[in-house]
Amino acid sequence: MRRGGALALALATLCLAAAPARSQAAPPRRFAARDSAQPRAPAPVVGLLSAAVPGAGEYLLGLNRWVPQLALEAFAWWQYRSHRQQGRDLEVRYRRLACEVARRIDTGPLCRDSSDFEYYETMGKPEWAKSGAYDADGLTSGVQPETDPTTYNGSIWVRAQRLYDGPTGSALGYYDKHAIPPGFRWDWGDNGLEQTAYDELIHRGDAAFRTSSEMLGFILANHVASGVDAYIAARLRELARAPSIEVRTGFEPAGGAVRWRAGVRIGSGRR
């Protein structure tokens, strides 16, 4: 009986010792879930994460709005790449058309390319069916400007003379700077339909490049908005967890006398 009583007492002691150990090792589930929802990084770091990758900071905070932010980012990049590629394809098409039809008078099978978009844009305007010659008389020394005002170079020479009061040296310098140089002449001739198709291609290509630039602006705005949103959300959580400090001062009666007392009260903060 004594041996049995001692054994029961030992078992009871072990059970009592193990009970608090289990409670310390496994806190209530509601506290564990709430702690996991708190930000694991300071607010500036969370904001920078979302500024780099939209939705990353919101995901760290456990906010569901990281999904639409990341979806907008993916959609915007897809639109940017799509319009950028469309613009490049249209650029290749209108430059090829210009070489095969309008510029063959000057280049033959070889067509010198130009990175100046304004040059290609001017070529497509219906009022400039041909550029005209840069030097109207190659047998005479010096540059003899184009005099036909219905051509692009001819209109440049007319404008230069108006600006500088006649065929002066300054007018010739203006002409040299703005006229179409040798090797880049064009003449659509009787190919009016091809010029119309060319003008449509160049405007579609310009619109595609412009849309791709607008998508880059949208992507930048999404990064900024997501970074600010994540920073504010993380900062609000930090403020909610911060302890409250209350300072109390004043005069109090004590034992028939008046004493000035001060005190500081530190709260635990709202959880």
Q: What is the pLDDT of residues 192-240, one digit of tens each?
A: 999 999 999 999 999 999 999 999 999 999 999 999 999 999 999 888 8
Averaged over 82-89, what is the pLDDT?
A: 97
- Buried-state track 180-194, b at ≥16 Cβ within 10 A, e below 16: beeebbbbbeeeeeb
Averaged over 67-95, what is the pLDDT?
A: 95
| Pair 261, 249: CB distance under 8 Å | yes
d(CA 79, CA 86): 10
Burial class (CB in 10 A: 0-12, 13-18, 19+), 135: middle
For the four alpha carbons of 99, 100, 106 and 108, in that order, the dihedral sign comes to positive
The confidence band for 29, taking pLDDT boundaries of 50, 70 and 90, is: very low
Q: How many CB atoms lie within 10 A of CB 18?
A: 10
d(CA 167, CA 66): 67
> Which of 61-65, 104-108, 192-196 has the least mean pLDDT?
104-108
d(CA 195, CA 97): 9
Averaged over 108-137, what is the pLDDT?
A: 85
Longest dimension (CA), the chain: 137
pLDDT beyond 50 at 137: yes
The SS3 of residue 69 is: helix
CA atoms within 13 A on the CB side of 220: 6
The confidence band for 267, taking pLDDT boundaries of 50, 70 and 90, is: low
Indicate the average pLDDT of the chain: 81
